[in-house]
Amino acid sequence: MEPVIIGLVLGGLYALLAQSFVLTFITTRTLNFALGEFVALGAFATLAVASWGWLPDVGKVVVGVLVAGVVGAFVHRFLILPFTTQGEHDVRWLLSSVAVSFVLLDLITNVEGPSPQRSDTARVSGTVDLFGTGVSKQQLLLATLAVVISLLLILVTKRTPMGLVMRAVSQDPETASLMGVSPRRVGMGAYAAAMGLAGLAGVLYAATVGASPVMGEPLLVASIAVAIVGGLGSLWGPLLGGALYGVLSQFASYQWGTIWGETAGLLLVIAVLVWKPEGLLGRRTEVKL
Partner 1 sequence: MSTIEHEPVTADAGDGPGRHAGRSPSGGEGRRHVRNAIRRDLVFAGLAILIAVVAILPGRSGEGTSISTMQLIASMSAMIVAAVGLNLLVGYTRLVSLGQGGFYALGAYGSAYLALDKGWNPVLAIVGALTFCAVVGAVAAMATMRMRGPQFSVITLILAVLIERILNEGNAFGRLAGYPNFAQHDTTVMKPMTVFGVELLPPMIAGEVATVMVPIVIITAIVVILSRNIARSPWGASLSAIGESEMLASHLGVDVVRRKVAVFVLASVLGGLGGVIAVQAFGHLQPETFDIFLTITIVLAVVFGGSGTILGPVVGAIAIVWLEQSDALNSVSQWQQDTLSDAWFLSSHGLLGVLFILTLFLMPRGIVGSIGRLITARLRAREIDAADASGGLEHTDEELVPTAEPVDTTGALLALTGMSKNFGGLQAVAEMDLVVAPGQVHAIIGPNGAGKSTLANLVTGVYKPSAGTATLAGRDITGQPPHKVVRAGVGRTFQTPQLFHDATVRDNVLAGFPDTGRTPLWSAALKTPGRYRRDAEMRVEADRLMALVGLSDVADLRASELPYGKQRALEIARALAGQPELIVLDEPAAGLIATETAGLGDLLLSLRAQGYAMVVVEHHMDLVSRVADVVTCMDQGRLLARGTAAEVLADERVVAAYLGKPHETGTEGGH
Indicate whether 262 belongs to the interface with partner 1 (CB under 8 A). Answer: yes
Mask of contacts with partner 1, 104-133, x by CB under 8 A? -xxx--xx----------------------
Indicate whether 263 belongs to the interface with partner 1 (CB under 8 A). Answer: yes
CB-nearer residue toward partner 1: 98 or 155? 98
Whether residue 207 contacts residue 258, with contact meaning beta carbons closer than 8 Å, is answered with no
CB-nearer residue toward partner 1: 110 or 175? 110
b/e 199-208 (16+ beta carbons within 10 angstroms → b)? bbbbbbbbbe
Indicate whether 159 belongs to the interface with partner 1 (CB under 8 A). Answer: no
Which one of the spans 52-60, 91-99, 117-125, 134-142 is the region binding partner 1 (CB under 8 A)? 91-99
Beta strands in 78-139 (DSSP E): 127-130, 133-136
Whether residue 186 contacts residue 24, with contact meaning beta carbons closer than 8 Å, is answered with no
Mask of contacts with partner 1, 71-90, x by CB under 8 A? --------x--xx----xx-
Rule CB under 8 A: which of 240-259 touch partner 1? 258-259
List CB contacts of 266: < 8 A, sequence separation 6 or more.
221, 225
Indicate whether 172 belongs to the interface with partner 1 (CB under 8 A). Answer: no
Number of residues that bind partner 1 (CB under 8 A): 43
Indicate whether 31 belongs to the interface with partner 1 (CB under 8 A). Answer: yes
Whether residue 187 contacts residue 27, with contact meaning beta carbons closer than 8 Å, is answered with yes
- Shortest Å distance, C-beta 228 to partner 1: 6
Q: Which of 1, 7, 75 is nearest to 37 (CA)?
A: 75
Rg (CA), the chain: 19
b/e 63-78 (16+ beta carbons within 10 angstroms → b)? bbbebbbbbbbebbee
What is the rounded CA–CA span in Å between residue 121 and residue 60? 7
Q: Which residues bind partner 1 (CB under 8 A)?
A: 25, 29-31, 79, 82-83, 88-89, 91-92, 94-96, 98-103, 105-107, 110-111, 217, 221, 224-225, 228, 232, 258-259, 262-263, 266, 269-270, 273-274, 277, 287, 289
